Amino acid sequence: MSSSIFPCPRVLTSLILFLAIDARIPARAREPIAPTTTEIAELLREYQADVNCLGRSFELPASEATLDRVAKLADGWLVRLDRFDFDALNAQGRVDFLLLKSEIRRSLQETARSRKHLAEIAPSITFRTIIHELETARWQASPLDCQAAATRVTALAEQVKQLHEHPPKPDGKPIAATDAVRAAAKTHELQETLKRWYAFHDGYRPDFSWWLKKPYEEATKQMEDYAKYLREEVAQIKGKDKDKDDDRLLGEPIGPEALAADIRGEWLPYTADELIAIGEREFAWCERQMKAASREMKLGDDWKAALARVKADYVPPGEQDELVARLAHEATEFVKQRKLVAVPPLCEESWRLSMLSPEAMKTISYAAYSGRDILVAYSSSEMKQDDKLMVMRGNNRHFTRLVIPHELIPGHHLQCYYEARSPERVLPTSFYVEGWAFYWELRLWDLNWATTPEDRIGMLFWRMTRSARVILTLKYHLGRMTPDEMVSFLMDRVGHEKFGARSEVRRFIQDRPLYQVGYLIGGRQILALHDEMVGGALTEPRFHEAVLKQGVMPIELLRAAMQGIELKKDAGPTWHFDKAVE
């Protein structure tokens, strides 16, 4: 999506895959394998039940004990999978097995990352121990001494006050802005936990409020003040009343080692630098095409002048919803008339349109898909004059022409419709979710969805943006680029308005590290799979239907499932899908 939200009810993937076929048949002659259950389906249900049970039973924020229990569960499952008779599985069962194993490993990686982050902010939230003890005692139905509890809550308020007045400096340095934001968030979560504890006892124990009302109110006030201090004074994030451009762009690079682990977890046999090279090559291709379109517009090679003209072609205030509806109908008819993919009537008529608020546009300055709704960004009366114009330029007719099929049909809305009717999977990934929508950007370019050079400029703007996301997010997490440098790149090299560029970067550094990489790389992977399989007996609509019915998974495993490729128990990513852009 141009700004991606994608909360389909069944976005978590399942392990129901496709029947095996004779691997000796050339790929282009193969019919995609039809969905079926496998021997791992029962294991998947049990694993998901264990994870859900643990999530319900250990709801303590900022708790090492909770992280320890999550890691223990994952370690136990890895031991169990290691003892599993992998050789007895058919080809599709092996894919299922590897999906489950990859998800468990991802859980361990995220737990280790959470443990590291907690250690970094622990000196700033020392009061958490009191809340943990009170809430754990409630879970265990331990006898409650209200007077003793009041003493504990009073001590809690005093601890928070001392942290506020005398912030800790564990390494002799003030707390970093990113750590301050984390500590503020955890303070809020801990305050909510204390609120649940108080609400449980209040009104049930006659003497509870007599002892606890004032200590609880003081503790709550101190925690609110402390969280505000961390965000506004330490991290310098001033809140909703401040101008958006004053908001700091805060995130934290995960570093080369963690980034390499995440890339492998997405089943990509590439280094971060190799993925950056793919993005840079795609970006250079876009620049060449931009110049060609600019020449058609009688502006020579000055494609930025052509882009400025395109951005100035926006609809008047109050008419963006009409433009979106018209383009949605046109895109749907485009793929239906060419028989590219089956569009069920219910899918076609079940999407809705909502307008984004100015606050939401801080991270979503274009459009997004959520559930059945396309969320449309456009100027509103309460925005500053400069922001109004930037949002209108950023959502001009020609940019929007590509955004709508990306978000609706044949993009995310069609994808979500099929996913709700397909097997669940266990390894959610943007390389499938966003890759599918970007794949259609590539196909629509080849099929001349752009009818004018201005339309091509609009399509190329988004393709450059997808390429930039690979370059910028990977360099950021490698420690080679700052958020401000990322904003400058998007403005100077791609042509984003400042408002849009800051919104993009804010999302880049807050998303999962590889989420933004999934657009370009996932789309290219699906296109490579298309080129392997479509031809002869296999038509495009059959290929597209097969991909949609598989559900969400890394594209290399999607390929193995669709083609019945035999995999080993210790299999890792090996598919080098990349080809030079022609």
> Is 122's pLDDT higher than 70?
yes
Find the mean pLDDT for residues 302-320.
Answer: 94
pLDDT, position 115: 96
DSSP letter, residue 406: H
More confident residue, 27 or 255: 255
Q: Any residues with CB less than 8 A from the CB of 252 and at least 6 apart, and which?
A: 178, 509
pLDDT, position 499: 84
| Sheet containing strand 367-370, strands side by side | 352-355, 373-376, 367-370
Task: Please report which confidence band the pLDDT of residue 157 belongs to, taking 50, 70 and 90 as the band edges.
Answer: very high
> Is 558's pLDDT higher than 80?
yes
| DSSP 3-state of 364 | coil
Encode pLDDT of 15-70 as tens digits: 222 223 233 334 454 567 655 566 788 888 899 999 999 988 888 999 999 999 99
The rounded distance, in Å, linking the Cα atoms of 47 and 42 is: 9
Please give the distance of CA 206 from its chain centroid, rounded to a whole number.
47
The pair of three-digit structure tokens given for residue 390, joined into one six-digit string: 């930037």
pLDDT, position 203: 82
Find the mean pLDDT for residues 97-105.
Answer: 94
> Is 333's pLDDT higher than 90?
yes
pLDDT, position 247: 66
For 487-527, the DSSP string reads HHHIIIII---HHHHHHHHHHHHHS-TTTTHHHHHHHHHHH
pLDDT, position 311: 95
CB 490 within 8 A of CB 469: no
Find the mean pLDDT for residues 511-522.
Answer: 95
Encode pLDDT of 450-490 as tens digits: 999 999 999 999 999 999 999 999 999 999 999 999 999 99
Residue 513 identity (one-letter amino acid): P
What is the domain partition of the chain in residue ranges? 125-237
| DSSP 3-state of 22 | coil
pLDDT, position 459: 97
CA dihedral of 6, 9, 12, 13, whole degrees rounded to 10: -100
Encode pLDDT of 169-210 as tens digits: 888 888 999 999 999 999 999 999 999 999 999 988 889 999
DSSP letter, residue 12: S
Short-list 263, 324, 375, 410, CA closest to 6: 375
For 165-226, the DSSP string reads HS---TTSSPPPHHHHHHHHHHHHHHHHHHHHHHHHHTTTSTTHHHHHHHHHHHHHHHHHHH
| DSSP 3-state of 373 | strand
Q: Whole-model pTM?
A: 0.87
